[in-house]
Structure 1
């Protein structure tokens, strides 16, 4: 199987390469920009599978497909919000949210292998996906959560929430008054329900509110540590792969 990775952050590309090769596959090439990818595709046999980041240093990766007629299967590696994920699902595209989990990577590759062996890999409507990313459908985001407490229901307004976190296979709300409430949603579901201007998923464990950030400190391995107003139970570390995007979100 011929595999390439298109990712502008070279450390992230090499990390993904190691994870893929750990699963017994070989990555043939690493490409880091729209221009480099177009040049490569013009003079090489197209691969069976592409791991594709959307936002590259010199533009959106969709520009590659506008220039080159590529029939390869694609697994997106993205930190984009629900609109991108919705588009991918509509087109039977696999996607992996950064930072990439090895188990999810294995599942995505297994899904591709099944399609590849049956010769049923779908052709992708990149123009439609691009439009959905650039002009997302307007929608209402979550404004409150209803929590069951014994025989009562408690309403928690979104403005009262400091962060969401996962622990022992459960998902919790932590409020500004330093209380924790178990909810039924997963962090993945919450990402699609929360306003991305107000909330950001800094790691696999935490989604934080911008208004609740008290302090941001430099941490080891080019990561950042976030201090919130009341949550103290565990360190909140921004994954290295998300630091650049996190800084952009803050601005």
Structure 2
């Protein structure tokens, strides 16, 4: 099977490549922009399957298909919410919601292989998908959170948050001025709300802001300890299985 990955976030692309490798599928080609992808398709044989992010560094990935006739099967990798994903269902396109789960990836591959004997080029109505996305950049990530303080509501800008963490079944945002705020949301629900270039989930308990990292220290069992600018209430440890992805994210 000839597979390529089109994803502007290189750590995410490398992570998907490794996950595919675990399924004995090689994806040697990784493209990171609309312009680079169009140039590649002009010069190369089109693959059997494309893993395609929606928002690339220089525009929407739809522009690739509008510029060229490409008959490859497509599995979208996206952080968009369920409402936007209705478009993909209506057009019979598979999708994987970020962060991608290995089990979901395996199921998507199995579904693709089952369709192979009768595989036909997918006709994608990009205009309909655009209408549902409305404004992709606005839908993707939160820019602020609202928290309740007594009878008042306070807005916290995302850039002011050093980390998110869970404690005693609650989820907290810790800000650079040294304050904790209880959020009405679980840590898992933050997965699709946070800009992946800005925040990384280092463990089941912590998300950290890349701009708040002061130091990184080798820790027991091949883990890393992170020192943040002001947060020091608990040790922030990168889980062993996330160290490789964390190092990729830092780049």
TM-score (norm 1): 0.58
Q: Which residue of structure 2 lines up, in the alignment, with residue 91 of structure 1?
A: 88
Residue ranges of structure 1 left out of the alignment (5+ in a row): 147-153, 245-251
- Say if 2:148 and 2:154, in contact at 8 Å, map to a contact too: yes
Aligned residues: 224
Q: Give the C-alpha shift of residue 231 in structure 1.
A: 5.0
Q: Which residue of structure 1 lines up, in the alignment, with residue 135 of structure 2?
A: 132
With over 3 angstroms needed to count, the CA separation of the structure-2 counterparts of 1:117 and 1:235, relative to structure 1, is: farther
- RMSD between aligned alpha carbons? 5.0
Residue ranges of structure 2 left out of the alignment (5+ in a row): 219-223, 239-244
With over 3 angstroms needed to count, the CA separation of the structure-2 counterparts of 1:12 and 1:119, relative to structure 1, is: same
TM-score (norm 2): 0.58
Q: Which residue of structure 1 lines up, in the alignment, with residue 215 of structure 2?
A: 217
With over 3 angstroms needed to count, the CA separation of the structure-2 counterparts of 1:12 and 1:112, relative to structure 1, is: same
Q: How does 1:13-92 map to 2 (within 5 A)?
A: 13-27=13-27, 29-56=29-56, 59-78=59-78, 82=80, 86-92=83-89
With over 3 angstroms needed to count, the CA separation of the structure-2 counterparts of 1:24 and 1:234, relative to structure 1, is: same
| Structure-1 separation of matches of 2:250 and 2:22 | 25
Q: How does 1:144-155 map to 2 (within 5 A)?
A: 144=147
Q: Give the C-alpha shift of residue 157 in structure 1.
A: 6.0
| Structure-2 separation of matches of 1:77 and 1:226 | 32
- Say if 1:224 and 1:243, in contact at 8 Å, map to a contact too: no
- Say if 2:166 and 2:172, in contact at 8 Å, map to a contact too: no
Q: Which residue of structure 2 lines up, in the alignment, with residue 143 of structure 1?
A: 146
Q: Deviations over 1:19-45 (max 9, x none)?
A: 202202233633344334223323544
With over 3 angstroms needed to count, the CA separation of the structure-2 counterparts of 1:94 and 1:241, relative to structure 1, is: farther
Q: Which residue of structure 2 lines up, in the alignment, with residue 150 of structure 1?
A: none
| Structure-2 separation of matches of 1:119 and 1:227 | 51
| Structure-2 separation of matches of 1:75 and 1:164 | 31
Q: Give the C-alpha shift of residue 63 in structure 1.
A: 2.4
Structure 2 residue 175 is matched with structure 1 residue 172: no
